[in-house]
């Protein structure tokens, strides 16, 4: 019976025939009276998971949501589908609020959307304590956690609101942010009772993932655009300056591209955005300010000129590709410089005034940890798809067989000599430099930076000139990962020796082996699939 009802509602109110992975289970759990914590990525279809139970249960569901525009959209869509729903937020006048609550109290609505700040106002409490509430749903539930990226103090008071209710309704929480810590915070802050927890919908089988390293990124992007000349795509850069530079470069190279960042006038931004949406501009170069609320289904590729600050950012941005379910590509162009840019951006990020010194320190540490995980994605030789899925807490097979790394040939190389040379170089220069100076010295690069610091006079200069830049970077990174070197945690990221460094210089030391991706192979393999 219930089975039929769910499907019926899916069809009549939302116009769909089948549920997406995970939706039905969540709906069933809520209907059985169990609390739920569901982690689903943006666009996976969270709303249905609480809207359908809300329609099936007697009484009114209260949906807590942080974004006024989102509430308005949803209520509008529900009303158009013939569902009684309303919202209470700061966009309403006093008398509109009073009227809505009056109707709510009379049981008029199946769903009522509310901003968290409104919950504990006397009028809302009065309604909530006298109405028959079917469920409390907390949307964007990560806002509850200080470890989330959008902490909202008003979210912390949701639990106090729930405690004031005469009868505790089912509580369901939804978010796209899945880190362990954030999930724990949601569970404990909301006081969820024996909840059904699920992480679902993260896999996007039609997306191809790849990380490319080395070479000129501008040139690689130029080539990519030339090879995909009929397709629509987004190129993300970390900074406004980066957008402007790449934009000019590509324009000079004869491409018709548009750009988007927060430093442009609202009119210019709007024009760029519309050109892109209506297929007048095929490619847009943008900062992460672009894309919120943009619903363009035929984006065939999302390129990243720089590494984003977290996997959350990356997946959200890359996930704008292939919304229509057709194959699409997500390629990240990585260089170790990106980690540096990432750290600089984090250091200059403004932290809200009302945090204590200790809280700021911990927030910064969390940010750094996210950056490290992002770097891990860029440098792993393992399956990229399973890296993503595991990061978000979803089960994943070991190799997807279809990402850049799975298709690439992984090679191994004994770099014991090079590793020993790195130790000597770091030691001889007094541990004063970061990886690019050390690598540059060993490679024998002839640059002003190296000459200014007289590194061209160092005994290490040019000793590994045959290794090549990409492998040199792999060696240093592997040394840091394995504890043979340490990188300072400040923005300078200086390389320091550790107690293990000496081991690499010892006679008869174990071989130092690195594995790396044979880049050309990925290109070939991709063409075949």
Interface with ligand ADP, residue 6, by CB under 6 A: no
Do residues 106 and 130 make contact, with C-beta atoms less than 8 angstroms apart? no
Interface with ligand ADP, residue 19, by CB under 6 A: yes
Interface residue with Zn ion, options 49, 237, 406, 420 (CB under 5 A): 406
Interface residue with ligand ADP, options 7, 20, 220, 424 (CB under 6 A): 20
Q: Choose one: 44-52, 276-284, 306-314, 396-404; the region binding ligand ADP (CB under 6 A).
A: 44-52
Which one of Zn ion, ligand ADP, none interacts with residue 159, CB within 5 to 8 A by kind? none
Q: Choose one: 45-53, 205-213, 362-370, 408-416; the region binding ligand ADP (CB under 6 A).
A: 45-53
Could you give the dihedral angle defined by the CA atoms of residues 121, 124, 128 and 134, in that order, rounded to the nearest 10 degrees?
Answer: -110
Query: In angstroms, what is the minimal distance from the CB of 321 to Zn ion?
Result: 17
Interface residue with ligand ADP, options 9, 48, 190, 211 (CB under 6 A): 48
Q: Choose one: 75-83, 215-223, 394-402, 462-470; the region binding Zn ion (CB under 5 A).
A: 394-402
Interface residue with ligand ADP, options 27, 44, 467, 475 (CB under 6 A): 44
Other Cβ atoms less than 10 A from the Cβ of 32: the count is 11
What angle is formed at CA 378 by the lines to CA 376 and CA 486, rounded to 5 degrees?
A: 50
Query: In angstroms, what is the minimal distance from the CB of 382 to Zn ion?
Result: 8
Helices 23-31 and 46-56 pack at an angle, to 10 degrees, of 30
- Token reading at 302: 């999302």
Query: In angstroms, what is the minimal distance from the CB of 518 to Zn ion?
Result: 16
Interface with ligand ADP, residue 37, by CB under 6 A: no
Interface residue with Zn ion, options 54, 111, 374, 400 (CB under 5 A): 400
Interface with ligand ADP, residue 43, by CB under 6 A: yes
Query: In angstroms, what is the minimal distance from the CB of 178 to ligand ADP?
Result: 13
Q: Choose one: 45-53, 375-383, 431-439, 491-499; the region binding Zn ion (CB under 5 A).
A: 375-383
Query: In angstroms, what is the minimal distance from the CB of 176 to ligand ADP?
Result: 7
Q: Is the dihedral of CA 235, 286, 215, 433 positive or negative?
A: negative
DSSP states along 276-337: HHTTSSSEEEE-TTS-TT---TT--EEEESS--SSHHHHHHHHTTTTTTSS-EEEEEEE-TH
Could you give the dihedral angle defined by the CA atoms of residues 484, 490, 491 and 492, in that order, rounded to the nearest 10 degrees?
Answer: -50
Interface with ligand ADP, residue 40, by CB under 6 A: yes
Interface residue with ligand ADP, options 5, 42, 96, 188 (CB under 6 A): 42
Query: What does the alpha-carbon distance between residue 230 and residue 454 come to, in Å, rounded to a whole number?
Result: 50
- Token reading at 110: 């199946």
Do residues 173 and 38 make contact, with C-beta atoms less than 8 angstroms apart? yes
Which one of ligand ADP, Zn ion, none interacts with residue 406, CB within 5 to 8 A by kind? Zn ion
Interface with Zn ion, residue 385, by CB under 5 A: yes
Helices 469-481 and 416-428 pack at an angle, to 10 degrees, of 80
């Amino acid at each position: 019976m219930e089975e039929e009802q769910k499907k019926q509602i899916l069809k009549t109110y939302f116009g769909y025939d089948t549920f997406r992975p995970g939706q039905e289970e969540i709906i069933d759990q809520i209907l059985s009276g169990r609390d739920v914590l569901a982690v689903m990525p943006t666009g996976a279809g969270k709303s249905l998971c609480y809207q359908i139970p809300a329609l099936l249960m007697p009484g009114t569901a209260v949906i807590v949501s942080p974004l006024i525009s989102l509430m308005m959209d949803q209520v509008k869509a529900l009303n158009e589908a013939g569902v009684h729903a309303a919202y209470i937020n700061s966009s309403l006048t006093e008398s509109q609020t009073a009227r809505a609550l009056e109707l709510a109290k009379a049981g008029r609505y199946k769903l009522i959307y509310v901003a968290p700040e409104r919950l504990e106002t006397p009028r809302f409490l009065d309604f909530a304590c006298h109405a028959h509430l079917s469920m409390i749903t907390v949307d964007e539930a990560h806002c509850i956690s200080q470890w989330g990226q959008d902490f909202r103090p008003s979210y912390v008071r949701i639990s106090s609101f729930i405690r004031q209710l005469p009868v505790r309704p089912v509580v369901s929480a939804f978010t796209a942010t899945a880190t362990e810590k954030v999930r724990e915070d949601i569970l404990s802050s909301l006081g969820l009772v024996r909840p059904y927890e699920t992480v679902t919908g993260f896999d996007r089988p039609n997306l191809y993932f790849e990380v490319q390293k080395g070479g000129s990124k501008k040139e690689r992007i130029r080539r990519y655009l030339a090879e995909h000349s009929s397709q629509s795509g987004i190129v993300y850069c970390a900074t406004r300056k980066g957008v402007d530079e790449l934009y000019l470069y590509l324009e000079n190279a004869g491409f018709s591209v548009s750009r988007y960042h927060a430093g442009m006038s609202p009119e210019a931004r709007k024009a760029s955005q519309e050109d892109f949406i209506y297929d007048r501009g095929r490619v847009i170069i943008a900062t992460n300010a672009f894309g919120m609320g943009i619903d363009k289904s035929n984006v065939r590729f999302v390129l990243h000129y720089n590494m984003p600050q977290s996997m959350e950012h990356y997946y959200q941005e890359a996930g704008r590709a292939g919304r229509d379910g057709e194959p699409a590509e997500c390629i990240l162009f990585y260089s170790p410089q990106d980690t540096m840019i990432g750290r600089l951006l984090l250091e200059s990020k403004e932290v809200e005034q009302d945090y204590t010194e200790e809280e700021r320190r911990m927030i910064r540490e969390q940010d750094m940890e996210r950056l490290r995980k992002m770097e891990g994605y860029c440098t792993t030789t393992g399956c990229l798809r399973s890296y993503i899925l595991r990061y978000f807490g979803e089960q994943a097979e070991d190799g997807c067989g279809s990402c850049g790394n799975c298709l690439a040939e992984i090679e191994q190389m004994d770099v014991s000599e090079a590793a020993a040379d790195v130790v000597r170089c770091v030691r001889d220069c007094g541990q004063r430099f970061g990886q690019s100076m050390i690598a540059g010295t060993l490679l024998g690069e002839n640059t002003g930076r190296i000459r200014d610091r007289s590194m061209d006079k160092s005994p290490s200069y040019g000793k590994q000139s045959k290794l090549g830049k990409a492998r040199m970077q792999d060696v240093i990174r592997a040394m840091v990962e394995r504890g043979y070197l340490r990188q300072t945690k400040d923005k300078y990221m200086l390389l320091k020796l550790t107690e293990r460094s000496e081991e690499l210089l010892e006679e008869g030391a174990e071989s130092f082996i690195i594995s790396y991706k044979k880049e050309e192979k990925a290109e070939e393999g991709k063409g075949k699939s």
